[in-house]
Amino acid sequence: MTILITGASGMIGTHLCTRLVTEGYEVVALLRSVNSQLDILENNHRNFRIAYSDIRDRQTLFATINSINPDTVFHLAASCLPCHNDYDFNTTNIDGTVNLTGALLCCQHTLSDFILASTASVYSIPTTHLPVDEQHPTQPDRAYGVSKLMSERICHINMDSVTRVPVLRLASVFGIGDSTRVAGLFMKAAVTGEPLLVQGDGEQSSDFIYVDDAVQGLITAWRNRTGDTGTFNIGSGYPTKIIDLAKYIISVTESKSDIVLSGESNRPFPFWLDVTKARQELGYSPRSLLDSLEKYRERFEQNPDNGITHHRRS
């Protein structure tokens, strides 16, 4: 069995590669930028290799997919907030998904599973009801959410006739490998003794999950065929106020940092996912936020550079 992971150089992709390789699976990581952690993994494990290809490059991607002939695909490659723009969302999340599914349809002979990592950003904001279940309206208010919703539909249109396509809508994922979102920014500030900057009054809430739980969700969706081709929310299942997240991080790091309220929040409302379906059909069971933050702190202190170094391949 050969498992292909697109977007393998990202935070979730790197952790997913590491988990599957150490469990003995044959894994091919598809990436367009060099990742130091995956380089180490390739040097230490014969069952892991890296394939450099850009899903936006249709011709190269077709040749790469044909040479790999994967049995399972985890499609994680995506341009995300806050580091990319509307053009990136279109070319990677939409056009890139068209290219990938097209290459698999043309080249695959043994493909049995296609698992898509989507996002809670596909849901309507503000919400019509809480917690947000899989039946909640999908009318995203930003280009990123629109592009990921389009990606979901492309995968179903192109792949449903040849394989199962579970779709996982992930909450706000944090962990080693990402320092651009709020949990990573707070952790870095707390460890270095800098103030934690909270937008607005901090009373707005979100749904935070540790990267290991996101990986576990992806793997259980692949292994547990009870869920078949369904859509599943993967989150904590409860809300966390931003001000409380800052307090928790200060507590687990024993930091002397201050919390500073700054400006206004661009989303001053509560949000969290209903994960009942994933619990019942996949056996998904996320850890508590405090346990997650303790684990994050341990790894952060071991990896002060946040664990992953990227640079363009020459």
Q: In this structure, what are the phi and psi dihedrals at residue 261, rounded to the nearest 5 degrees?
A: -80, 135
Tell me, yes or no, whether 198 lies in a domain: no
| Residues in Cβ contact with 305 at an 8 Å cutoff, skipping those fewer than 6 apart | none
> Is position 141 within any domain?
yes
Half-sphere exposure for 173 (CA within 13 Å, toward CB): 28
Residue range(s) defining the domain that contains residue 93:
2-173+208-235+272-286
Instruction: Report how far residue 296's alpha carbon sits from residue 249's, in angstroms, rounded to the nearest whole number.
Output: 10
* Nearest of 175, 192, 180 to residue 307 by alpha carbon: 175
Number of separate domains in the chain: 1
Instruction: With respect to residue 36, please indicate whether it lies within any of the assigned structural domains.
Output: yes
Instruction: Residue 98: give its domain's CATH number.
Output: 3.40.50.720
- Is residue 162, in this structure, part of any structural domain at all? yes
- Model pTM score: 0.94
- Under DSSP, the state recorded for 256 is -
Identity at 248, one-letter amino acid code: Y
190: in domain: no
Return per-residue pLDDT of the chain as tens, 314 residues: 999 999 999 999 999 999 999 999 999 999 988 889 999 999 999 999 999 999 999 999 999 999 999 999 999 999 986 666 788 899 999 999 999 999 999 876 679 999 999 999 999 988 999 999 999 999 998 999 999 999 999 999 999 888 899 999 999 999 998 888 999 999 999 999 999 999 999 999 999 999 999 999 999 999 987 655 689 999 999 999 999 999 999 999 999 999 999 888 877 889 999 999 999 999 999 999 999 999 999 999 888 665 444 444 43
- Tell whether 54 is covered by a domain: yes
In a domain, 67, yes or no: yes
Which of the 8 DSSP states describes residue 96? I
- Measure the CA–CA gap between 78 and 222, rounded to whole angstroms: 20
Q: Give me Rg for the CA atoms of the chain.
A: 19
Closest CA to 174 of 207, 196, 141: 207
Residue 227 forms part of a structural domain = yes
In angstroms, the CA 299 to CA 292 distance is 11
- The 10 Å Cβ neighbour count of residue 29 is 26
- Contact status, residue 174 vs residue 211, Cβ threshold 8 Å: yes
